[in-house]
Structure 1
Amino acid sequence: MTGPDYAFEALLTYLKEARGFDFTGYKRSSLMRRVDRRITQLGMHGYSEYLDQLQVHPDEFTTLFNTILINVTSFFRDSEPWDYLRTELIPRMLAESKPDAPLRIWSAGCASGEEAYTLAMLLCEVLGPDEFRRRVKIYATDVDEEGLAQARQAVYNERDVQALPDGMLERYFDVTGNRYSFRKDLRRSVIFGRNDLVQDAPISRIDLLVCRNTLMYFNAETQARILTRFHFALAPAGLLFLGKAEMLLSHTSLFAPVDLKRRVFRRAARPAFLGDPVLAVPAPALDASRLTGLDLLRHEAFTAGPVAQIVITDRGVVALVNHQAETLFGLSSSDCGRPFRDLDLSYRPVELRGHIEKARTDRRVVRVADVQYTTGQGEKFHLDVQIHPLTAGSGELLGVAIVFQDITTARRLQQELEHSNQQLEAAYEELQSTNEELETTNEELQSTVEELETTNEELQSTNEELETMNEELQSTNDELQAINEELQDRTGEVHESNVFLQAILSSLRSGVVVLDPELRVMVWNRRMDDLWGIRAEEAVGQHFLNLDIGLPTDRLRPLIRSVLGPGPAQDHLTLSAINRRGRPTSLRIAANLLVDGNDTAAGAILVMDPVTPTDDPAQPDPAATPDGQQTGH
């Protein structure tokens, strides 16, 4: 490996160890191009210098990841495949599933969330909002935490939503100024989380897996690993939806094409072993009696090996088991020729299938240290497991060899040694502390004599001080008693005033709400309860303009600001609203300035009275009950 390549690989290793981002499976050409761009921006020379920059300035990680993980996404990106998904694929998927069966969708590489919310809108269009909320779960994942944080907020600007089809912006987004937020009731069905497609376990039982324009950043070997995990993640009839730059021509055993033009594939129904694309067919057991010469010598040497060993073919079939493995795990020669996945050893004492797949994929030795194993007779062992990929001279994978190294004795000796060291350290610390305690005890005895002599004098002076303090405390107690009586009188007056004010507000036939300068609700009378169905304890303390009632509160902002502001005040306006019974009503809303004892603005008072279209007092109030009685008190 040349110098620059070695330095670049060292940089990738540091990113993996320091922050858990494994970029070793990305295509080197595009990956180096993006890192070079960042190095040029900083005016540096070479990967080694940039590695020093990352070690000294941890904030640089965020900028580097944003440079590498180019999150190019938008709503309904490449509209034709999305139209096909809405008109053909989703209806077909629903027809093949049970009416009440839950639908699990996975958006892999979701970036800032546009793809996940596009899926939510399409499914909502087909199912309807109620059925969508009841049946659908969309799992959206990415490795970029910053992008996931933006996706969770579900807030986008005007440029982001330009690509939405007609009508969808109004149906699925709430507008706040120049910001557009996805509907909260539908947002709950979209779950965001971090998932590294190269390292992390896939989500299971997925009906539709969308991974568009993500695989193209990885090399062929890493793509194969990811597609194997996608195959595991999908349900038996699950669908895979890729981007237009991605194909599965070399993975036809994993996926069958549904529509090649739009890059839609179905999970192939095939029994697989650890992601192996060929069917694991049992092989006949080896007949040692027919071996001669060197073949017999090799077989006997393997069988008599001092450590337990098992050899598995590239198709996942047990080929060889030596005597140590038979004795330790209860195997026999009849297990040769069986699929390894059918043996208890494949998952006990440790799940080996994932480690075997890693050894097969990475073509390197995988080690599992200090595995505890208990035999059927209750005997306990500590084992180190090594999984060696076996390759031919041409590089073709022949299988794997699993070696179980018994480290029980070494482990026991190590524990005994650690225990002895701990005992020696404890004994040394105890002796040292005892010596120090004896030295200090002598000093303490000498100082105790001096302290006792001075204590007598201090006690005498303390007695005099206590007598003086007793007189002061008695005087203070009298003063506190007087203050307490005065506070009780004032508390009674305040309580009477509050009761009187509450009675006035409850008796008014108008809705009254008092706001502080920040427009938080301070007072909410009973007539407001009747109009909008929100009790005072629910409204007080809330921002008035954020209350979810039938009144268009945002249109009251100018009226309230005119009362609180220095300019000319607008004293009232008339608004249309929907009362607590869902009926339209018209309100006359008057606003007054609330001032404190220093004539300083302390808030605003809003008075709301329903009016009829003819302003005729004889007309019934829209907020009245069906028998004509007012709901106010």
Structure 2
Amino acid sequence: MGEPQDSEGNEALEELLVFIREARGFDFTGYKRSTLSRRIHKRMTDVGIHSHPDYRDLLETNTDEFAALFNTILINVTSFFRDMEAWTLLQHEVVPELLTTLDPDQEIRVWSAGCSSGEEPYSLAIMFAEALGVEECARRVKIYATDVDEEALREARSGLYTPKSLEALPSEMREKYFEENGAQFSFLPDLRRRVIFGRHDITRDAPISRLDLLVCRNTLMYFNVEAQTKIVDRFHFALRPAGFLFLGKAEMLLNDSERFEVVNMRQRVFRRRVGSNGLTYHPAPLKLRTGTGAEGNSVARARQLRDLVLDAGPTALIALDGDGTVVVVNGQARTQLGLTTSDIGRPFQDLEVSYRPVELRSLIDQSTHERRTLRVNRVERRVGEEVQYFDILIQPLTGPGGLHVATAISFTDVTVATHLKSEVKRVREELETAYEELQSTNEELETTNEELQSSVEELETTNEELQSTNEELETTNEELQSGNEELETMNEEMRIRTDELDEARAFLEAVLTSIAAGVVVLSEDLKVKSWNRGAIDLWGLRADEVIGESFFELDFGLPTQKLRPVVERCLETRKRSGPVGVEAMSRIGRPITCDVFFSPFGGNHGGVVLMMEESRSDDAD
């Protein structure tokens, strides 16, 4: 369970995220806070830290901890053809339809966003190779595979996988697309060269363009709604018209039907609509260059004359360069819109006129992207008690080569005409009084429609809440699967170590059993740790009767107290000694002379090994 997120804990978490972004360039601020908090707290628990400030101190002093933290946050759970039913739909329905829309020699562009350790892009390569053949796939298909996790990308670039990783593939597919490489298998080199890996942050970096297929499975669910919206905007820009988008089972596009149509909702396959223009992302425009020297002076004079003409124009005009910076504000714009010459050089988005009385920034983006003039008629603007009306014209300007270099925005004052239209409208409304009863009926119908609309909105809200819960459950499932894989690895290591330990124990027992002399191992506190077969035959005591007992308190035919000084000296000096001859009584009651050898024992904090055997001179007698 994650730590409680009170206001103080939330603030500390946000400060930690800002530090991570500034220190390493990883921006996790768009991720869902519940998931982030849970994963960061798991890593803090692993290293024994209980507060975000203390964990930040650890990150500052131990740069290796960043890698461990990123591996904890970025749950890399993947496999070849994960969710086989969805991949089957992709292979048998989507890919054939995609191929029919392309010329036989046209390149096929695919993007695997959030590719983790590479199983997904290699699955895509196999799928297209099955549809086109290996040689045709290697010639036409280009797959871009991106992730923010550098460690996962290094593993993906190697193209090496264990036999366990390939268990999901049919045997004939493993043999066709993988080559044995020591204890692992490497992906087919001809297809590997068509997969391009690179680090990419889908929330910040420019998207790959002109795609036929974009695969981003179980990645969006880690982001909040705002970040998901920005990512989908980039995906829409990246896809060509009629290009396909393949999401994870916990993700869907509920409120984007204008730009994407559903191919299969169950398997989360969508298609970009032809002619959709809901794009809000676009690449940076080209900057203009200026001359120097005499040529620069001539240009400056021409620019001054141009500015005078523009400034005297009858229509309010604002011009922006390719970066969105204000470069022209003419006289009418200053008079009617309240701008000043000091606004020249400022970003247009910082000016009030960019969003009031109408949102112009998105219209400018649309005009730039579509390269066409946009018009907004009769926009109302209030200045105190005065009301103004403008027709606004947004015109993209292109330079050499058809590149976008600037945008001109003109405001035509239509206040008088609008007031006249308002008067006509008022008279018309008076003439329509006779239709009040009909209007009343219409209003009742509209009320009913609004109630129905309200019910629909409530259902949509409930659906979105269920979707959010589903995403959380899927995230938790990913975490559990990751933890289960770690436990399986640890269990395998423990089994190997146990087998090695059992083998060593069996070996030692066999050695001790094979020694004819009596061997007794004493611990540092002089208790019996081992009692071999020779000791049993010599003294008649079983091992289970003496193990753990004090050696010098045992009652058998050897007078152990005579040996105590030698044992203690051996413990102290850690040197071998003996033999020491001692008169003793064997297990059958026969007097013998027993030679005892003493050797220090270094394992488990030290001890002494006693080797006892009947004196040879005794045997001779």
Bigger helix share: 2
TM-score (norm 2): 0.49
TM-score (norm 1): 0.48
- Please identify the structure whose Cα radius of gyration is greater: 2
